[in-house]
Amino acid sequence: MANNRQMQIRLRDEIESVIGDRMATHEDRNRCHYVNAFIAETLRYRPVAPGGVPHTAMCDTHLVIVGNLLANSMDANLWSNPHTFDPDRFLNQDGTLVAHVPGYVAFGVGHRSCLGEKLATAELFLVVAHLIKYTAGRVFALETGKGDGSADLEMAADQLVTSRPKPYKIMLLPCA
């Protein structure tokens, strides 16, 4: 978010038009399409568990099955410009959230997908909405200090189980 001020402004504009001055609620989530697209793109771009979660068979066996969610998220056959962070890929032409995006597997697939997906996305919406509501473009803005796009968003080689960003500073700066 701090890597792109224009995205902060777009998030803020949607939050202000949909939510206004009150606190965001779970009910607001279905009307904040860009916020949800931003969250989906964040999870596509850097999945929380890039190697997927190991599964075992229900009967005696020695197999462990692990899906590679990161490889799927960066597959050029599934995503145009997969190494570009672009929340718009999750929006229809009219600006509404796409209900189902083929290839989006941030929470796994099938019967063994993450049980916490609905709770996680609902909570992520509230966190992003509250953070943006009280920062971007209003009184304060989140910045890296070195300009848009300066945060290194690439994953370290040792991040196969859980994903975390490389260290960088984020500042809360007053808007001019």
Q: What is the pLDDT of residue 123?
A: 93
Detail the residues annotated as belonging to a binding site for heme: 114
113's tokens? 């997908």
Detail the residues annotated as belonging to a binding site: 114
Q: CA 1, CA 24: separation in Å to the nearest integer?
A: 18
Mean pLDDT by 10 residues, the chain (176 residues): 84 91 89 94 84 72 70 90 92 92 85 86 90 65 73 65 70 68
pTM of the entire predicted model: 0.68
Q: What is the pLDDT of residue 136?
A: 53
User: Residue 83: beta bridge partners?
Assistant: none
Q: What is the pLDDT of residue 156?
A: 63
Report all structural domains of the chain as residue ranges with CATH numbers, in order of start: 5-174 (1.10.630.10)
**DSSP-derived secondary structure for 104-134:** --TT--GGGS-TTHHHHHHHHHHHHHHHHHT
